[in-house]
Chains A and B, each alone.
Chain A
Amino acid sequence: MTESTPVLRHPMSKYIREDRQPFIYCSGCSIGIVTGMLARAIDNLGIDINKTVIVSGIGCTGRTSGYFKTGTYHTTHGRAIAFAEGVKIANPELEVIVVSGDGDISAIGGNHLIHACRRNIDMTVICINNMNYGMTGGQFGPTTEHERYSQTSPRPYGNLEHPFNLVKLAASSGATFVARWTAVQARRATKSIEKAIEKEGFSFVEIIGACPTAYGRMNRLGDGVTMHKHLLEVAEIQNGLPPHEAELDYATKIICGEFVNIEKPEYTAVLAEMQRKAKGE
């Protein structure tokens, strides 16, 4: 490169730690796309990035927080939501966003997910569901479909277990905003992330992503491009569908859309009221 070569900067790079590029992600992975969605959502909303806190747990998806140029934190495995709750309650003025993996959020951290939904603390949880534990090399987890192969549900056996449907789980646990998209529906997913951030309550956005390196390889689903094309083919938009009907079958149909958007007293608002009363105001 000569000195006069113009350098094209990505429009979202202002939010990203460029000195940490390239991302650690494999080629064909969806996590970079979702990182872009979040950056665009923040940009579109025009929220103060310094007042935004991005938290992740452990895993490939768990690396997301560390690429953002704001206050970011990488917790232990599964605990991103619990950390985020402490942040939001201690300083309700902050915009708190969690980005983490399906294993992080629904296996080891599953308890924190359902209880945060129930408590209704204002935050946005973006879960990238690549249907396996990507970081550790592709073992099955609570979102791996029945009979699918993984490093710990190998051929010829396949997965003995049955997956969570995270939309149903979050909705029935009390989340006030619940949506699901695939990684290829970038525009719609970004819009939902914006709504989730704006929502004063607990918001859960699931993004179905591809892990061609592990899950794709073991289940012969093709490379990253093939997997993302497939996601587009099987994605079926059904905004407003009751969440218990939001089916997910990787091979044939992934129901996408916004399924829950309800009002419920938000934890930190109720707490502030309680504090006012306690002080006799």
Chain B
Amino acid sequence: MPERVMFTMGDIACAEGALSAGCRYLGGYPITPATEIAEWMSIRMPQVGGAYVQYEDEIAAITSVIGASWTGVKSMTATSGPGVSLMLEAIGLAVMTETPLVIVNIMRGGPSTGQPTRGQQGDIMQAKWGSHGDYQIIALTPASVQEMFDQTVQAFNLSEKYRTPVFVLADETVGHMRERLVIPDEKDLKLEYRKTPTVDPKDYLPFKADDDLVPPMALFGSKYQFYATGLTHDERGYPSDKENVQIELVTRLQNKILHNADKIIDVERIELDDAKIGVIAYGTPSRSAKKAIKDARNEGIKAGLLRLKTVWPFPEKQVAQLASEVDHIIVAEQNLGQVYHMVKAVAAPTPVHLMAKPAGMPQLPHEILTKLRDVNSM
């Protein structure tokens, strides 16, 4: 399809991004503020030969997505915090069986049912640590309607490339705001597809990784036979309670993400070259921060912004570099401080100031400006 321009909301941009990425299966369960994705997909999926399937709960939804992915169909689910809470065990299964899929979390106020119609960024740590055991995850944090599209495409690409679940972590404001969206011509999109095995089926070892630490993935219905299990397994995919098998598996699953962190991580540096104060923000608060640093510079305060478009794997190098360049860092996020703890660990001894806001209205530009003035006079 040629380029299209829409004026639309973030949730719908996300759905269109998924379709452009080739997603043809969404297993879901309605939840505010992600419902528009389900509603849009229920119309769009049949048009492209795909399926929107509404399950009895989010556990079924994501588990079905894992199943669909093993047929070779790019698959996703879209939900909000309470839904992700139900999906956590299955996220571990997807990690362990190296299943490409995308989980969209349009973050609302929590804990529990919280404020369904109000945005927050309270699920950053849940995305990383929610399921049990040691594992890495990829999580992207769009800040505009266009990025809802672009980063959903990117989420599919990363999930296919690294055979892993990928989160699109958007706050409600981004999910519900309306802006101009340019959907590129499909031939201008760079799409990734998981690699599949080429060896003779009798030589196929389903969980033997290539040099990039990612094993080729056989699909249901192919000539390859395999057993995929959430149990710790060896290269044959067979369960094992041996210590070395456990260590090798969890280490490889970790390293296939961390060793590729430079390729995965995306940040935007704004006005940082001569900055004395660096603001770190992502999602909606980063939009306020952008305006605040402009206003601050008009007052002679040398401020800049490091906007995180990826929160997991955490952009350690980029934050460490910022810490070496500036005298102070301010973290503005819509929670009581989550990314803040990561920044503090990486930035030391550069002082890190938290602008926390665990509620629906993000930090406003003038509030961040006030903070910049305070920090500037320290």
Nearest B residue to A268, CB-CB:
B51
**Which of A2-10, A65-73, A211-219 lies at the interface with chain B?**
A65-73
User: How many A-B residue contacts, CB cutoff 8 Å?
Assistant: 132
CB distance from B112 to the nearest CB of A (A): 21
Task: Provide the residues of chain A in CB contact with B89, threshold 8 Å.
Answer: 76
Q: Check B57 for interface membership: any CB of A closer than 8 A.
A: yes
Task: Provide the residues of chain B in CB contact with A79, threshold 8 Å.
Answer: 59-60, 63, 90
Task: Provide the residues of chain A in CB contact with B263, threshold 8 Å.
Answer: none
The answer to whether B56 and A115 have CB atoms under 8 Å apart is yes
The answer to whether A89 and B222 have CB atoms under 8 Å apart is no
CB distance from B251 to the nearest CB of A (A): 22
Q: Residues 209-232 of chain B: 1 if any A CB is under 8 Å from the residue's CB, otherwise 0?
A: 000000000111111111111110
**Which of B13-21, B68-76, B280-288, B358-366 lies at the interface with chain A?**
B68-76
Per the bound structure, the CA–CA distance linking A58 and B49 in Å amounts to: 33
The answer to whether B53 and A89 have CB atoms under 8 Å apart is yes
Per the bound structure, the CA–CA distance linking A268 and B333 in Å amounts to: 44
CB distance from B77 to the nearest CB of A (A): 10
CB within 8 A of A112: which of B60, B75, B219, B227? B60
Q: Check A135 for interface membership: any CB of B closer than 8 A.
A: no
CB distance from B207 to the nearest CB of A (A): 13
Per the bound structure, the CA–CA distance linking A91 and B73 in Å amounts to: 8
Task: Provide the residues of chain A in CB contact with B229, threshold 8 Å.
Answer: 66, 73-74
CB within 8 A of A53: which of B72, B90, B93, B220? B220
Task: Provide the residues of chain A in CB contact with B92, threshold 8 Å.
Answer: 76
Q: A111-B56, A111-B57, A274-B46 are in contact. Are A73 and B67 (CB under 8 A)?
A: yes
The answer to whether A70 and B60 have CB atoms under 8 Å apart is no
Task: Provide the residues of chain B in CB contact with A83, threshold 8 Å.
Answer: 63-64, 66-67
Task: Provide the residues of chain A in CB contact with B219, threshold 8 Å.
Answer: 71
The answer to whether A90 and B227 have CB atoms under 8 Å apart is no
Per the bound structure, the CA–CA distance linking A73 and B64 in Å amounts to: 12
Task: Provide the residues of chain B in CB contact with A65, threshold 8 Å.
Answer: 227
Q: Check A87 for interface membership: any CB of B closer than 8 A.
A: yes
CB within 8 A of A271: which of B46, B65, B218? B46
In this complex, the interface size class of chain B, counting residues with CB under 8 Å from chain A, is 35 or more
The answer to whether B90 and A76 have CB atoms under 8 Å apart is yes
The answer to whether A94 and B57 have CB atoms under 8 Å apart is no
CB distance from A24 to the nearest CB of B (A): 9
Per the bound structure, the CA–CA distance linking A30 and B116 in Å amounts to: 49
In this complex, the interface size class of chain A, counting residues with CB under 8 Å from chain B, is 35 or more
Per the bound structure, the CA–CA distance linking A20 and B60 in Å amounts to: 30
The answer to whether A91 and B71 have CB atoms under 8 Å apart is yes
The answer to whether A90 and B63 have CB atoms under 8 Å apart is no
Q: A50-B223, A69-B225, A91-B71 are in contact. Are A86 and B46 (CB under 8 A)?
A: no
Per the bound structure, the CA–CA distance linking A56 and B92 in Å amounts to: 17
Q: Check A51 for interface membership: any CB of B closer than 8 A.
A: yes
Per the bound structure, the CA–CA distance linking A17 and B226 in Å amounts to: 10
Task: Provide the residues of chain B in CB contact with A17, threshold 8 Å.
Answer: 227
Per the bound structure, the CA–CA distance linking A263 and B197 in Å amounts to: 40
The answer to whether A275 and B49 have CB atoms under 8 Å apart is yes
The answer to whether A91 and B66 have CB atoms under 8 Å apart is no
Q: Check A85 for interface membership: any CB of B closer than 8 A.
A: yes
The answer to whether B51 and A271 have CB atoms under 8 Å apart is yes
Q: Check A84 for interface membership: any CB of B closer than 8 A.
A: yes
Nearest B residue to A278, CB-CB:
B46
Per the bound structure, the CA–CA distance linking A169 and B213 in Å amounts to: 46
Task: Provide the residues of chain A in CB contact with B69, threshold 8 Å.
Answer: 86, 90
CB within 8 A of A86: which of B65, B222, B228? B65
Q: Check A239 for interface membership: any CB of B closer than 8 A.
A: no
Q: Residues 245-262 of chain B: 1 if any A CB is under 8 Å from the residue's CB, otherwise 0?
A: 000000000000000000
CB distance from B199 to the nearest CB of A (A): 16
The answer to whether A89 and B231 have CB atoms under 8 Å apart is no
Partner-B contacts on A (CB < 8 A): 17, 20, 50-51, 53, 55, 65-66, 69-76, 79, 82-87, 89-91, 93-94, 111-112, 115, 271, 274-275, 277-279
Partner-A contacts on B (CB < 8 A): 24-25, 27, 46-47, 49-51, 53, 55-57, 59-61, 63-73, 75, 89-90, 92-93, 97, 218-231, 238-239
The 5 A-B pairs with the shortest beta carbon distances in the complex, nearest first, are: A86-B67, A86-B64, A90-B68, A74-B229, A278-B46
- New A-B pairs, 9, CB < 8 Å, besides A50-B223, A66-B239: A50-B221, A71-B218, A72-B226, A75-B93, A82-B60, A82-B67, A89-B51, A275-B47, A275-B49
Can you report 15 residue pairs joining A to B where beta carbons are below 8 Å apart? A20-B238, A50-B221, A55-B67, A69-B225, A71-B219, A73-B70, A74-B227, A82-B60, A87-B68, A89-B51, A89-B64, A90-B67, A91-B73, A271-B51, A274-B46
